[in-house]
């Protein structure tokens, strides 16, 4: 298998992103004045406990985020997870228990639920896509169509749902897209319609050899016609993205690659839905990238159920 993108796991980089988002969320909710409702009704010494409960079936993601959030806010709450990131859950399942300062619990409720609901919704949708391609050679990849500031967290969530990570940013892979090719061709005053795909790949490869500290960066190029694909195959990029091609074109592309006996991965992208996914996977492509995993995921319905007595008391 050729070079692939980094597959994210929970690490210090994701923790840093989570800390920044939690601090922003806290400021959004409490500003400089605090929680008037809670402060008016709940004595400072009061203790409380609650269960984080899934209101619908799905896949859990956000347990690690809650742990990081509580440490970041430095508030008096203990979290006892009952499930881990990537675990399936049914409606009514308790994901974790929170206990400690009643004021702190009430004031951070929405921050914690927003984190877990958003990430669990992405993991759940990702798993739906992954399940649809079972039995084929295709793997589901996410994209950079993420919420600003949430990228690593959202990509971590797609992994928890069983999908794979496409490049994290512009820094960790080469992705030659249509606008790169348009400019590349214009700079060289190429004849209209003359494919410049192979030349672009060779230019990138030479640049990386001379300038990049990591010359193993994956090289991917986007094509939208069979003619472009045929032109770029001899340059042997790691991955070729087949943009918005029909199922018939995808089959032709796979046959063309296989006939050349090249270990190039083919990635289908553009307009992929749960309804069209299986047919696309059965064409023989190796990868299917889906922006909807992150830009169209609905938050999983997760709530906080208050306990009449502190859990464990």
Q: What is the DSSP letter of 252?
A: H
Express each pLDDT in 44-94 by its tens digit.
Answer: 999 999 999 999 999 999 999 999 999 999 899 999 999 999 999 999 999
Give yes or no for a contact between 72 and 23, defined as CB atoms under 8 angstroms apart. yes
All CATH 3.20.20.70 domain ranges in the chain, comma separated: 164-289
Express each pLDDT in 109-164 by its tens digit.
Answer: 999 999 999 999 999 999 999 999 999 999 999 999 999 999 999 999 999 999 99
Helix (H, G, I), strand (E, B) or coil at 46: coil
Cβ atoms within 10 A of the Cβ of 271, count? 13
Give yes or no for a contact between 213 and 205, defined as CB atoms under 8 angstroms apart. no
Kindly state the tokens that stand for 227. Answer: 């003619």
Give yes or no for a contact between 3 and 238, defined as CB atoms under 8 angstroms apart. yes
Q: Mark the binding-site residues for substrate, compressed into ranges.
A: 110, 143-145, 167, 177, 222, 243, 269-271, 290-292
Express each pLDDT in 178-226 by its tens digit.
Answer: 999 888 888 876 555 556 889 999 999 999 999 988 778 999 999 999 9
- Give the pLDDT confidence score for residue 192 in this predicted structure: 54
User: Which amino acids are annotated catalytic?
Assistant: 110, 145, 177, 222, 243
Which run of H or E residues covers position 237?
Answer: none
Predicted confidence (pLDDT) at residue 308 exceeds the cutoff of 80: no
**Second-level CATH architecture of 164-289:** Alpha-Beta Barrel (3.20)
| Helix 102-132 with 63-73: angle, nearest 10 deg | 150
Q: Nearest CA to 242 among 283, 296, 186, 188? A: 283
Tell me the average pLDDT across 12-27.
98
Q: How confident is the model at residue 313 (pLDDT cuts 50, 70, 90)?
A: very low
- Give the pLDDT confidence score for residue 220 in this predicted structure: 97
- Which class is domain 12-129+298-306? alpha beta
Which run of H or E residues covers position 53?
Answer: strand 47-54
All CATH 3.90.1170.20 domain ranges in the chain, comma separated: 12-129+298-306
């Amino acid at each position: 298998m050729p070079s692939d993108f980094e597959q994210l796991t929970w690490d210090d980089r994701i923790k840093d992103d989570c800390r920044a988002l939690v601090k922003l969320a806290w400021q959004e909710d409490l500003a400089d004045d605090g929680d008037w409702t809670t402060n008016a009704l709940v004595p400072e010494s009061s203790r409380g406990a609650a269960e984080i409960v899934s209101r619908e079936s799905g896949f859990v993601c956000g347990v690690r985020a809650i742990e990081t959030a509580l440490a970041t806010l430095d508030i008096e709450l203990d979290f006892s997870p009952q499930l881990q990131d990537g675990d399936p859950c049914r409606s009514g399942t308790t994901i974790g228990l929170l206990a400690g300062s009643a004021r702190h619990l009430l004031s951070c409720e929405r921050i914690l639920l927003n984190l877990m609901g958003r990430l669990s919704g992405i993991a759940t949708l990702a798993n739906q896509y992954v399940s649809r391609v079972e039995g084929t050679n295709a793997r589901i990849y996410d994209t950079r169509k993420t919420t600003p500031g949430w990228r690593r967290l959202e990509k971590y969530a797609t992994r928890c749902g069983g999908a794979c990570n496409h490049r994290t940013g512009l820094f960790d892979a080469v992705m030659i897209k249509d606008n790169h090719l348009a400019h590349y061709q214009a700079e060289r005053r190429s004849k209209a319609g003359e494919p410049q795909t192979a030349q672009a790949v060779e230019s990138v490869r030479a640049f990386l050899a001379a300038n990049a500290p990591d010359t193993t960066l994956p090289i991917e190029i986007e094509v939208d016609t069979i003619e472009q694909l045929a032109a770029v195959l001899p340059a042997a990029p790691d991955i070729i993205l087949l943009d918005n091609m029909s199922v018939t074109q995808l089959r032709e592309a796979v046959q063309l690659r296989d006939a050349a006996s090249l270990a190039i991965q083919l990635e289908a992208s553009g307009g992929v839905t749960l309804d069209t996914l299986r047919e696309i996977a059965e064409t023989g492509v190796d990868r299917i990238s889906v922006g909807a995993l992150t830009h169209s995921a609905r938050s999983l319905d997760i709530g906080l159920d208050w306990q009449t007595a502190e859990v464990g008391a």
